[in-house]
Amino acid sequence: MTDTIPAWIDGALRPVDKLEVHRRGLRHPAISVFVMDGGRTLIQRRALGKYHTPGLWANACCTHPHWGEDTAACAERRLREELGIDGLALAPRDTVEYRAAVGPDLVEHEVVSLFTADAPAGLRVAPNPAEVMDVRWIALDALRAEIAAQPAAFTPWLRIYLAEHGGQIFGKAA
């Protein structure tokens, strides 16, 4: 893997190989997007070829900004790359930090810029099969119930977001 992402080393952001960031559990910036349709949110099942958390359900999209990339531009880019979604008005919600194991000897330690977007009627979702194997809309209460019943089917970050940051993401709907 030759992708580099920004990570904090000795208090400064530096470009580091993405796999190395996760092997060392380095703190790094990220974005996460929740696409909403009323009380329902769009979730995706990660492609089986992903190097961590393959086949697990996650929020609409998430990634790491490229070096120097604005977080909102990153969120727009990743919605397009993963789900074929363009033109949504993204609303910045908050910045949160979490640390979680995401596979054998891999750790996400992310400082995440959270965004929400309201889906217009008839939103076209066209998942990139290299990134996403399935998508579905689910009510927040139903999502929480599924996570409680089968936590291993969901990414650690989605479980953390719903358990610890629902009010910051969804406001009163949480």
Residue 104 has a pLDDT of 87
Residue by residue, DSSP assigns 59-110 as ESEEE-PPTT--HHHHHHHHHHHHH------EEEEEEEEEEEEEETTEEEEE
Share of the chain above pLDDT 90, in %: 91
Mean of the pLDDT values across residues 109-133?
Answer: 97
List the chain domain ranges: 4-165
What whole-number distance in Å separates Cα of residue 85 and Cα of residue 137? 15
Give me the chain's average pLDDT, please: 94
Q: 0.75 cut: is pTM over it? A: yes
- Cβ contacts of residue 41 below 8 Å, gap of 6+? 34, 35, 59, 60, 137, 138, 140, 143
Residue 24 has a pLDDT of 96
Residue 1 has a pLDDT of 40
Residue 103 has a pLDDT of 87
Mean of the pLDDT values across residues 59-83?
Answer: 96
Residue 48 contacts residue 55 (beta carbons within 8 Å): yes
Residue 136 has a pLDDT of 98
- Token duo for residue 172: 């009163």
Residues annotated as catalytic are 62, 110
Residues 25-44: tens digit of each pLDDT: 999 999 999 999 999 999 99
What whole-number distance in Å separates Cα of residue 16 and Cα of residue 23? 11
Nearest to 35 by CA among 120, 97, 111: 120
Q: What is the CATH topology of the domain spanning 4-165?
A: Nucleoside Triphosphate Pyrophosphohydrolase (3.90.79)
